[in-house]
Amino acid sequence: MIQTVRGTRDLLPEDMPLWHRVEEVAREAFRRYGFREIRTPIFEKTELFARGVGESTDIVHKEMYTFVDRARADSEGESLTLRPENTASVVRAYLQHKMFADKSPGELTRLYYIGPMFRRERPQAGRYRQFYQIGVEVMGSSDDPAIEAEVIEMLSWLLQELKITNTTLLINSVGEPASRASYVETLREALKAQLDKLCADCHHRYETNPLRVFDCKVASCQAVIADLPTITDSLDDASRAHFEQFKAHLDARGLAYTVNPRMVRGLDYYTRTAFEIVGHDGLGAQNTLIGGGRYDGLSETLGGPPTKGFGFAFGLDRMVMALPEAEAQRLRANDAPDVFLVFLGDAARQHTFQVARDLRAAGVSVALEFEDRKMKKAMTAAAKSRARYALIIGDNEVSSGQYGLKNLATGEQESLSLGDIIAKFK
Ligand code: AMP
């Protein structure tokens, strides 16, 4: 038997109502806040992520699914990569389609996406090699911190609508590239003295990108991390002022937060504001639901004009895991068919096909099976279908046009015409 690849999984029908709910609430949030959908390809030139996300990040350094496309007669095979995240692709699309061209000063482009991402991470609960993200990007000439607060307000609505209540908003500023560069040197100095206590990965990070040490989950490294100088201590004045305004906007909206000066996020493109929303129920160790931040230099890195950007991504897999059990049960129950058609005898069977067609044409969700069964067996099948009602069709019903509609939860039965039944489901 061939099975799924390690770190990937099938999403089965019983879970899909939960996925659909998260997607539906997200789309509604985006509609209310003026975001429009974009879909970019699942694979891109490797260079996009190498430049966009950063060569020295864990994602690019060791987690990408990269392959050489078959060579054509006129060219070498080119290096392609399954997207590990979508911000670089969305910024590429924004530049490629010159979405900035017809904009007046300060006008923003608000985009959202939904789709699978691929990272060769060590699989565990809440961490997969193919996972799904929903995210937004706000791009344009303005870097007003009010944008950031508005996006977080939208997330707060989304979480509330999904009944995910026990969450914490963590915020930080990672500064401008220049102040960050000098901080990285300070950090490297501090790490040098502690190298013997760090894991092999952190040794590599020390060499290539010391900031990434903060992402390390190894307990002995965590102990070292707790005493390192923070980026917040060496912020440039402009970033500090931006961060203060951002916090004031959150305060004005009544959005609670915790400043975490050690949160630097796993991607190189972040400047100034970075944030995470952490969940506490049903998630285990992988409890970061949402991650995002500002990426003002990314457009230039990809060869575009100066552009400000801010966005987030959340893991759909994790958001589904964080749904409270009562909500999950409600969503699964709502996914059942409205009515199961039970027929008795051959003439009734033919008639049932017409009834099914008429009900479906009127928008009713109908389940039926084609086997002629005795009443008792048919009712068992009806219960198994989880339908709310069973509609019983025998010879008498065919001739009278009145059908027995049985509520399968209460056992109550009433005799109704097809028109009445349709009206009842409307
Ligand atoms: P990132 O793109 O790394 O900032 O991650 C943003 C969000 O995507 C995280 O907070 C998670 O909810 C989700 N996520 C990232 N990596 C994975 C993964 N391997 N499996 C499942 N969800 C993930």
pLDDT (tens digit, 9 = 90+) per residue, 390-425?
Answer: 999 999 999 999 999 999 999 999 999 999 999 999
Query: 295 CB under 6 A from ligand 1?
Result: no
Residue 314 CB–ligand 1 contact under 6 Å:
yes
DSSP assignment of 82-127: E-S-SHHHHHHHHHHTTTTTTPPTT-EEEEEEEEEEE--PPPBTTB
Q: Which residues pair with 135 in a beta bridge?
A: 113, 313
Strand, helix or coil for residue 277: strand
Each residue of 72-89: pLDDT tens digit?
777 788 999 999 999 999
- Residue 121 three-state SS: coil
Q: What is the CATH number of domain 337-425?
A: 3.40.50.800
Q: Domain segments of the chain: what residues?
A: 16-175+235-328, 337-425
* Rounded Cα–Cα distance for residues 251 and 240 (Å): 17
Residues 205, 208, 210, 211: what is their CA dihedral angle, to the nearest 10 degrees?
Answer: -100
Q: How far is CA 137 from CA 34, 93, 97, 104, 293, in A?
A: 12, 12, 15, 18, 10
Closest among 277, 383, 387 to 336, alpha carbons compared:
387
Residue 173 is predicted with a pLDDT of 95
- CATH fold of 16-175+235-328: BirA Bifunctional Protein; domain 2 (3.30.930)
Tell me if the pTM is above 0.75. Answer: yes
H helices of 162-236, in order, are: 177-192, 200-208, 219-225
CA separation for the pair 302, 47 (Å, rounded) = 9
CA of 118 to the centre of ligand 1 (A): 10
Tell me if 127 CB under 6 Å of ligand 1.
Answer: yes
CA 140 – CA 407 distance, rounded (Å):
56
pLDDT 10s digits, 214-231: 878 888 998 898 889 998
Q: 216: Cβ–Cβ under 8 A, 6 or more apart, which residues?
A: 198, 199, 201, 202, 205, 222, 225
330-359: pLDDT as tens digits = 999 999 999 999 999 999 999 999 999 999
Q: Are strands 413-417 and 271-279 parallel, antiparallel or unpaired?
A: unpaired
16-175+235-328 shares its CATH topology with 337-425: no
Q: Atom 8 (ligand 1): residue with closest C-alpha? A: 315
- Which residue's C-alpha comes closest to atom 22 of ligand 1? 315
Instruction: Name the band, by pLDDT with cuts 50, 70 and 90, for residue 70.
Output: confident
> What are the DSSP E strand ranges found in 175-320?
258-259, 271-279, 288-294, 308-315
Higher pLDDT, 262 or 158: 158
DSSP strands (E only) in 74-107: 79-82
For residue 187, what are its two tokens? 């950090």
Q: How far apart are CA 115 and CA 40, in angstroms?
A: 9
Token pair, residue 379, equals 């009712």
Nearest CA to ligand 1 atom 1: 291
